Amino acid sequence: MENTLTRRGFMGGALAVATAALTGKIAEAKVPAGLPAAASLRIVHLSDFHWGYRGDWNRNLSATVDRILQEVLKLDPKPQLVLVTGDLIQAVGESAERNKRLEAVKAKLDGLNVPWLAVPGEHDTFGDQGQAFKTIVGPLFFHRNFQGLHVLGLDNVSQGPFLGQAQSAWVQDQLGRMAPTAPLVVLTHRPLYDLFTPWNWYTYDGDSLYGAISRFSHRVCLFGHVHQAISHRTHQTNNTSGLPASWPLPAPGPLERLQPWPQGASHPDMGLGFRVMDWTGSGFKVHTTWLESPQPEAVLT
């Protein structure tokens, strides 16, 4: 398992920095199901903006998010698709402020001039079970075909840490329409597997999803929520977390209570960044880009 702050030796190793939206730029199905995927695609994986947060975990969050998006714009080759795994905003009870925050993040992502898709996090659906997200960003779960790459965005937050029977039945129907040779990317906010249940880092019925996608030769599950770099293989499927654009969280296990720490003055960007995933025509290659030192590091092939 990849683990960021342990990798960096931070705090003596005791702690470790261990959707759905459519902008209108992607058609419902650009490529008929029977056609092969593009020979290569570059995808950026963003997560956990928590737009609207004010406090010591990140004392200038808007500037941090802007810098991450600037690093995305510097990529060469340029990305053709951006995927966001939830918590676009910090939870807020007042509906007008919730709308304002979602609209602000949507404008930021639109400013990349790259097609993007997002699934909701629990902060995005707080207070209205995702109604504002659906209105401003897009549906809570979706299937899109982007140049032969199938993207399945799922909601495991709005009703609780599960997919539920209705969404699971919809998933089965959508998967039945796809060729098993097509590359498949699954997006969720919470991890589908039991990463650490005491901190709600799991999806109650996630195992059923792994069984449903097992016939696909090239598949990967992307998630957010955990605010750290984790790569884990289970059910013969690679699972990769998005790096936070807000603040890191400790590794699961050493602490009884999940609690971020104040942003450090010497390393304010520690644990922050994004992933780049390249579809090569025969598999996925994932790289990590840290905001502290934006040199990509290979994760999975």
Residue 16: pLDDT over 50:
no
Query: In the structure, what pLDDT confidence band is assigned to residue 18 with cuts at 50, 70 and 90?
Result: very low
Distance CA 191, CA 172 (A): 19
Q: What is the tens place of the pLDDT at every residue in 168-215? A: 999 999 999 999 999 999 999 999 999 999 999 999 999 999 999 999
Domain boundary assignment for the chain: 4-300
Span 4-300 CATH architecture: 4-Layer Sandwich (3.60)
Helix H or strand E encompassing 166: helix 165-175
Total Cβ atoms within 10 A of residue 62:
15
196: CB partners within 8 A, 6+ apart:
202, 252, 253
Query: In the structure, what pLDDT confidence band is assigned to residue 1 with cuts at 50, 70 and 90?
Result: low
Residue 267: pLDDT over 90:
no
- Model-level pTM? 0.87
Q: What is the tens place of the pLDDT at every residue in 207-227? A: 999 999 999 999 999 999 999
Query: So what's the pLDDT on residue 257?
Result: 78
Distance CA 128, CA 236 (A): 36
Query: In the structure, what pLDDT confidence band is assigned to residue 35 with cuts at 50, 70 and 90?
Result: very low
CA dist 54 → 49, 81, 96, 263 (Å): 12, 30, 17, 12
Q: What is the tens place of the pLDDT at every residue in 40-98? A: 899 999 999 999 999 999 999 999 999 999 999 999 999 999 999 999 999 999 999 99
Is 47 in a helix, a strand, or coil? strand
Quote helix, strand, coil % in the chain, to nearest 5. 25, 25, 55
Q: What is the tens place of the pLDDT at every residue in 101-159? A: 999 999 999 999 999 999 999 999 999 999 999 999 999 999 999 999 999 999 999 99
Between residues 11 and 283, the one the model is more confident about: 283
